[in-house]
A and B are shown apart, each in its own frame.
With several copies, the nearest count.
Chain A
Amino acid sequence: MKVKIYVTHKKGILDPQGKTVETALLSLGYKNISGVKIEKYIELEIDGKSKEEAEKQVKKMCDELLSNPIIEQYRFEVEQ
């Protein structure tokens, strides 16, 4: 099963990278853009049992390693 995980900054946490890229896009003439955020997107394969069990495992992996609960939040999709 294919898993897609999106790890993003929590609200209010500064994203210096997003801020700098936004300034760069504006200076390249793209005046109509805002709220640029640079986040992490993780893809992986899981094999075995059921979708529910895969989802339980992905949640555990995110809490344990793939995201830092203090400054990040995550959501994910598991495709059969």
Chain B
Amino acid sequence: MIEPKIYHELGLTDKEYQRILGILGRDPSPTELAMFSVEWSEHCGYPRSRKYLKLFPQKGKYETLIGEDAGGFIYDDTAIIFKMESHNHPSQIEPKQGAATGVGGIIRDIFTAGARPIACLDSLRFGDISKPFNKYIFDGVIDGIQFYGNCVGVPTVGGEIYFNDAYEGNCLVNVMCIGVCKKDKIARAKAVGIGNSIIYAGSKTGRDGIGGCSVLASAEFKEGEEEKRPTVQVGDPFTEKCLIEATLEAMDTKVVLGIKDMGAAGLTCSSSEMAAAGEVGVKIDLAKVPLREEGMESYEIMMSESQERMLLCVEVGKEDKVINVFKKWGLEAVKIGEVISEKLIKVFRGDALVADIPIAELANAPLYDMAWDESGKQKMESRKVRVPKDFNKTLLLMLSSPNIASKRAVYEQYDHMVQINTSVYPGGDAAVLRMKGKKWGMAVTSDCNGLYCKLDPYLGAQIAVAEAARNLVVTGADPAAVTDCLNFGNPEKPDRFYSFKRCVEGVSHACLEFELPVISGNVSFYNENWKGPILPTPTIGMVGILKDVENRCTVPFKDDGDMIILLGKNNDELGGSEYLSFIHKIEEGVPPMLDLDLEKRVQAACATAIEVGIAKSAHDLSEGGLAIALAECSILGEKGAAVSLND
């Protein structure tokens, strides 16, 4: 009998443990217990959020692809694959390695689908930057992204950075990656064909991030309770770059039938989920797994989150074709098992059977219908504030707000030009990438205002989708598909789960309205600190298509005498505005009204103006409103602007 203390520590509830006993008909071995705990954790099984994720639309204007890991859409003859993932808790423990491994992990999700990674974005949230510890986390995260991203040769072309006290003690590091391949070249994360080989490729296995998956995701950091520090995952971008080239080269041999990267929950998740997707079983021998440390126990090998590792299903007899490619790139590649007919995952350590679990049960995390209540609802009206005495001083002050000020000092540390596709550089609303040999291009962005989502989760989430779409439209792109990273507090607390539920509903309804499918995404719960939950942050990543990339539009004003036109209505509403929060330290009120029908017409008008060539520049109004938007267009264009406010 395993005492509750042990399986509780691994994040399993009593009910879940009873279910395991039912499945196995006996006590689980330590390895089996570990495997259940990671597969059923929020980070892999999504037990508490799966029910709501089904609300997201999966169809849209373009033909969509929903894969096991990343999804995408098809345009012309190309599959555009993208996804967003979070590495919040590891980055709060060790910012540089946390952010670095976040970049490494999301890039693997892309090339594991057979796509060449062509761009990354990162969406970051920190506490007040003037506090030394927050600055330490901020510096570490930026260092990690540039250290890893620059070395792997995938340009970091965009993203956004917000600061709010609610993120102190629990930063958010959401990383998005986009990749492309010919539409018939997409690889699936499936094990197929009885007797085919299971090949382990990439770095050796160590004790990195043991329990990182479930223990981290199921616990939040109380003041001073920092002991929850399993060995931190360390990333090696050089090995990852070799892994990208080796994996794409191995796929050209046509004998790779299925492939999955070892991310959260490492070997457990990759082997069991590949078998589940292929509706087969799998047998692996841990004695064959290349190890970096001595004396590793079987459960440690199965749970290890060492970086830069892939699992492949290869035609039996053709293993050497694949193994030689990895050897050419200086990487480990060894057969560790094979596909079996019984729908079980059998894990051996030499001759000893250390785990024997039905695949369907393991991959089928329990589903919870979490309680929610409206106790966290914010009151509607906000305190009135005086009209500023000196508008000029106020504008300069607003431009100095960390949430508005230029982020050039950050993105100039990222190589945002490698692969020579970047045609609109960071600093605008969205980056634009040309496709070599094609007329069309792509625009990419990520966005979310957490304060709006705190004040009204449903409206705030809709605004996140609308603003991301606007960011693309102002570059001349037509929004095509969405990924997301849903960062919320502890789901077991009803008021936090309410904001998750309402945000998911908001994102779904907005996506339906804009005909945008949600083709992939990620959930990160338990984002809390000693004061309470972070701001509800459903980060939206969006990709759009420019039919002709030469028609791309940018933010800076161009020529003297050009007319400045404001599209849409400028209402008298300051709820949740940067002005209230930065100047008056007030975070109250109703977020700005969003009329989705008007929004669509405004975006259509802007898109047409750009397409027919009337518009020389375009910029969307967000934090700081009209004043800041005008200032940005002028500063970037090194021009002035004369504007009258009486309509």
Contact = CB atoms under 8 A, between A and B. Distances in A.
A and B directly contacting (CB within 8 A): yes
A22 B378 CA distance: 48
Interface in A1-37: 12-14, 16, 19-20, 23
A13 B231 contact: yes
A57 to B, nearest CB: 19
A12 B304 CA distance: 12
Contact of B232 (A19, A23, A70): A70
Contact of B97 (A12, A20, A23, A71): A71
Interface stretch (B43-51, B233-241, B269-277): B233-241
13 contacts: A12-B206, A12-B293, A13-B231, A14-B208, A14-B234, A14-B292, A14-B307, A16-B234, A16-B236, A16-B239, A23-B330, A70-B229, A71-B94
A4 B239 CA distance: 26
A22 to B, nearest CB: 12
Contacts of B94: 68, 70-71
Q: How large is the interface on B (under 10, 10 to 19, 20 to 34, 35 or more residues)?
A: 10 to 19
B365 interface: no
B236 A14 contact: yes
Contacts of A13: 231-232, 234
Given A16-B234, A16-B239, A71-B232, 16 more contacts: A12-B206, A12-B207, A13-B234, A14-B203, A14-B206, A14-B234, A14-B292, A14-B306, A19-B236, A20-B238, A70-B93, A70-B94, A70-B232, A71-B94, A71-B97, A71-B234
Contacts of B93: 70
A27 to B, nearest CB: 10
A70 B206 CA distance: 16
B580 to A, nearest CB: 34
Contacts of B206: 12, 14
A66 to B, nearest CB: 14
Contacts of B292: 14
Nearest to A68: B94
A19 B308 CA distance: 14
A12 B238 contact: no
A23 B207 CA distance: 22
B150 to A, nearest CB: 15
A12 to B, nearest CB: 5
Interface centre among A14, A19, A68, A71 (most CB of B within 10 A): A14
A12 B232 CA distance: 10
A70 B97 CA distance: 10
Nearest to A9: B234
A20 B331 CA distance: 11
A34 B32 CA distance: 35
Interface centre among B203, B208, B231, B292 (most CB of A within 10 A): B231
Interface in B197-223: 203, 206-208
Given A68-B94, A70-B93, A71-B97, A12 B236 contact: no
B133 to A, nearest CB: 12
Interface in B80-124: 93-94, 97
A12 B330 contact: no
Nearest to B236: A16
Interface in B266-318: 292-293, 306-307
Contact of A16 (B207, B229, B238, B330): B238
A52 B93 CA distance: 32
A37 to B, nearest CB: 13
A12 B293 CA distance: 7
Contacts of A23: 330
Nearest to A13: B234
A42 to B, nearest CB: 18
A53 to B, nearest CB: 25
Nearest to B306: A14
Contacts of B231: 12-13
A28 to B, nearest CB: 10
A69 to B, nearest CB: 10
A65 B248 CA distance: 32
A68 B203 CA distance: 24
A20 B234 CA distance: 15
Contacts of A20: 238
Contacts of B229: 70
Contacts of B208: 14
A68 B573 CA distance: 46
Interface string A55-80: 00000000000001011000000000
A12 B209 CA distance: 11
Contacts of A12: 206-207, 231, 293
B137 to A, nearest CB: 12
Interface string B125-139: 000000000000000
Interface string B227-254: 0010110101011000000000000000
A70 B208 CA distance: 13
A68 B143 CA distance: 14
Nearest to B96: A68
Interface string B163-194: 00000000000000000000000000000000
B239 to A, nearest CB: 7
B337 to A, nearest CB: 25
Nearest to A10: B231
A68 B208 CA distance: 17
B72 to A, nearest CB: 31
Contacts of A14: 203, 206, 208, 234, 236, 292, 306-307
Nearest to A11: B293
A49 B239 CA distance: 34
B225 to A, nearest CB: 15
A1 to B, nearest CB: 21
A13 B233 CA distance: 8
Interface string A31-48: 000000000000000000
Contacts of A71: 94, 97, 232, 234
A3 B208 CA distance: 27
Interface centre among B93, B232, B293 (most CB of A within 10 A): B232
A12 B208 CA distance: 8
B230 to A, nearest CB: 11
A26 B97 CA distance: 27
Contacts of B97: 71
Nearest to A15: B234
Nearest to B293: A12
